[in-house]
Structure 1
Amino acid sequence: MDYMPGTASLIEEIDKKQLVVLRDGRTLIGILRSIDQFANLVIHRTIERIHVGKKYGDIPRGIFVVRGENVVLLGEVDGEMDNESDLNLEKVSVEEILQAQRKQQEEHMEEKKAKLKAMKERGLSSNVEQQDDAF
């Protein structure tokens, strides 16, 4: 096997099942069909996998085109290791995982508000607060 620089080394990964983590935190799993010199990806039979605690859910997405600059991590999925039950995770319906995700996001926002309030009470300001004021 010869080493190829840059995205050319991904040629060997075409037509294999890949896991892609995006810059916004989403996780995609699908078959890599095409790449270009900018690491733009075309993924076929894509699912978006959402994890919340010990539960996960898969949302079918079909064909997905991902701009290369949004890819944080890309790796081949081992067919034998693709079973999440080995990790003591419970697969749930799309509706249930989306509801759990919304609840988790709401809890995160409440924690953030509480931290900002505590900082304000102590006479401190944060960059987050200043950024929120800018909008």
Structure 2
Amino acid sequence: MTSTLESYMNRMVNVVTGDGRIIVGLLKGFDQLINLVIEDAHERSYSETEGVLTTPLGLYIIRGENVAIIGEIDEELDKRVDLENVKAAPLAPIWIPQ
């Protein structure tokens, strides 16, 4: 997996964590345990009744054990999405953190 992550370096990524959070930002680093360093990170919180709430996080580290999915974002397409009008159910955790 690390060789695949290398192709995401310095690109905008979307990370879904095991507890259902969605973190978006620029991938600046990772290690063999898939610990991620995300620059200009922000969390996107979805709601069925309101638009997407975006919370800035700055430089952010996500522990590899909490990474469920990581993928590259098409920045041009992402800029065209009106997040204030996107409504969706929040993701449920895939496990309960202890």
Of the three residues 28, 31, 36, the one matched with 2:26 is 31
Find the residue that maps to 2:46 and give its secondary structure.
Answer: strand
Shift of 1:7: 1.3
Structure 1 segments of 4+ aligned residues over 6 angstroms from their partners: none
What is the distance in 2 between the residues matched to 1:48 and 1:40? 17
Aligned match of 1:99: none
Aligned twin of 1:108: none
Quote the sequence identity (%).
35
Q: Which residue of 1 aligns with 2:57?
A: 61
Q: Which runs of 5+ in 2 are unaligned?
A: 91-98
Please say if residues 20 and 75 of structure 1, whose CA atoms lie closer than 8 Å, have aligned partners that are also in contact.
yes
Q: Which structure has more RCO (C-alpha within 8 Å, separation ≥ 6)?
A: 2
Please give the per-residue CA displacement for 1:58-108, whole angstroms capped at 9, x wherever unaligned: 00000111111111110111012213328x527xxxxxxxxxxxxx9xxxx
How far apart are the structure 1 equivalents of 2:32 and 2:56?
A: 27
Higher strand share: 2
CA separation in 2, counterparts of 1:9 and 1:18? 13
> Structure 1: which 5+ runs fail to align?
1-5, 91-103, 105-135
2:70 & 2:59 partners in 1: Cα distance?
A: 17
Residue 20 of structure 1 and its aligned partner are, at CA, apart by 0.3
2:86 counterpart residue number: 89
More helix by share: 1
Q: Does 1:41 align with 2:54?
A: no
Count of residue correspondences: 86
- 1:9 deviation in Å? 2.0
